Amino acid sequence: MADRRYSQRGYREHEKERQGKPKDPARSGAPAMPQTLTVSRCTDCGTLLPPLTDSLGQCPKCRSELHSCRQCAHFDPGQHFECTQPVPERISNKGARNECTFFSLHVTVERDASSGSARPEDARRALDNLFKKK
């Protein structure tokens, strides 16, 4: 009682309750973040490219060249010569294979939807249950 400023009942008693309860680390208040994947996709057909794809090869599905401007991470149609790097001259065919030294395969970060993804049947069943007459 000596550490209390006022002697009235109820003053700062909520602090005692908080101090006595240990916090659960599983419920820290942070939202659960979805899992992410770092992937490369073909810009022509959208096929997921294998992780160790040789950038000198071709897309396994549509056979478009992977070492081309459109597959590059530096490709930007709004920039000079459509590239963010200081290329000496414009490459006219952006889908054709070239020998650019600045090339790096375009990589994106996507949400991993494979774990716990709902099937269309589950959504249909949930909708039917919502509007089911009792």
- Residue pLDDT, tens place only, 35-81: 777 888 888 888 888 776 676 788 888 888 888 888 898 999 898 89
- Residue pLDDT, tens place only, 108-130: 888 776 655 556 778 888 888 88
Pairing of strands 36-41, 48-49: antiparallel
Burial profile 78-110: b = 16 or more Cβ within 10 angstroms, e = fewer: eeeebbebebeeeeeebeebbebeebeebeeee
| Mean of pLDDT values over 1-26 | 62
User: What element of type H or E holds 108?
Assistant: strand 108-111
Supply 56's token pair: 């000198």
- Please indicate, yes or no, whether the overall pTM of this predicted structure exceeds 0.85: no
Closest by CA to 100, choosing from 117, 116, 83, 115, is: 83
Closest by CA to 88, choosing from 104, 98, 54, is: 98
CA distance 45 to 67: 15
CA distances from 105 to 45, 67, 88, 95, 121 (A): 15, 8, 20, 13, 37
pLDDT value at residue 129? 85
